[in-house]
Structure 1
Amino acid sequence: MTSDTAPASLPAPAAWLGYGGALPFVSLAALCWLAAGHAGFWFGLLLVYGAVILSFVGALHWGFAMTLPGLDATRRSRMMAWSVVPALLAWPAVLLPAAPGVATLLLGYLLHYLQDRRLCRDVDLPSWYLPLRRHLSLAAGISLLAGVLALQA
């Protein structure tokens, strides 16, 4: 199944789109610090972007459930059910105060990464998938933490 340590060559579109999607995280976190007078505004954008992306990665499992060969009906149903959990965490995260909102998103990213690891043990996904997801989840998490710390500085 998919290796978490030795990825095959990452396709250019996945690299550009994946790491390009990390740029708003990093940029908004930096703006929270560099434009401290408007940190609340930049943090709000960062939190909402984090929620949108968490919802997006959850939807990956819906797509896998629809397309992966060899899954039984129970496994497909469980994957579809899981796929909505990140969105259900992301939605209230944007309504909570800053620190609990970030904690909720971080929990969502962690849980989804653990689900990705489980999936990669059981099915044949490209070997670059899990390392890419790990890198992007770390970029999101570190950025969200940096943003909330800027609010408290």
Structure 2
Amino acid sequence: MNKLALKAAVADELEWARQMSRGRTPRLVACLAYAGLIPFLALLAASWLDTPRSGVWQQLSVQYGAVILSFVGALHWGFAMSVQFVSDRKRNVCFAWSVIPALLAWLALALDPLAGSALLATGFGVHYFQDWRLFRHAGLPIWYLPLRLQLSVVAAASLLATSFASQA
């Protein structure tokens, strides 16, 4: 790598570090995170607007919720591998927790959609608590926890509202 390329790479890393340390979520991160809510909201709208097929929309909502809950659990695996200044005990707790959301998601898929939605909504709530615990110990960016709260609330509320639409 030549000097100019190295200098550009270092400048990019410094800019990313500046964005990560500020209270504001980096634009790309925010766009991708909020885009992940589109299926929840679209399925919620479909379940209320297309009531004859609300059961289909509810099932799709549970399936998408299971995928997303598994994804947020995997974040803890990544944090456990990359955060260097936590104790082995806390690192092991992080590794162990990271698989729990996927197991809850799998169970939610085996339940009827109403119970599955409730389990997933609960899973998002419990996972936020785990995010909060991780945030206190892992030196995550200041914007991480507020973003996770917003995403978790919308995901859980959408799952529950979609379930109630199919029961109406």
Q: Could you tell me the TM-score, scaled by structure 2's length?
A: 0.85
Following superposition, the deviation at residue 72 of structure 1 comes to: 2.3
Mapped contact 2:122–2:156 kept (Cα < 8 A): no
Question: Which of 1 and 2 has greater Rg?
Answer: 2
Residue in structure 1 matched with residue 62 of structure 2 by the alignment: 47
- Report the AA paired with residue 37 of structure 2: A
Pick one of 81, 84, 94 that aligns with 1:79. 94
| Greater RCO, CA 8 A, separation 6+ | 1
| Runs (5+) with no aligned partner, structure 2 | 1-21
Q: Larger deviation: 104-113 or 51-60?
A: 104-113
Q: Count residues in correspondence.
A: 147
- Report the AA paired with residue 31 of structure 1: A
Q: How does 1:61-100 map to 2 (within 5 A)?
A: 61-100=76-115
Q: Could you tell me the TM-score, scaled by structure 1's length?
A: 0.93
| Runs (5+) with no aligned partner, structure 1 | 1-6
Pick one of 98, 118, 121 that aligns with 1:103. 118
Following superposition, the deviation at residue 53 of structure 1 comes to: 0.1
Name the % identity: 50
Name the SS of the counterpart of 2:110 in structure 1: coil
Residue in structure 2 matched with residue 127 of structure 1 by the alignment: 142
Following superposition, the deviation at residue 43 of structure 1 comes to: 1.0
Q: Larger deviation: 7-16 or 37-46?
A: 7-16
**Does structure 1 residue 146 correspond to structure 2 residue 157?**
no
- Structure with greater helix share of residues: 2
Residue in structure 1 matched with residue 13 of structure 2 by the alignment: none
Instruction: Find runs of 4+ consecutive structure 1 residues off by over 3 angstroms.
Output: none
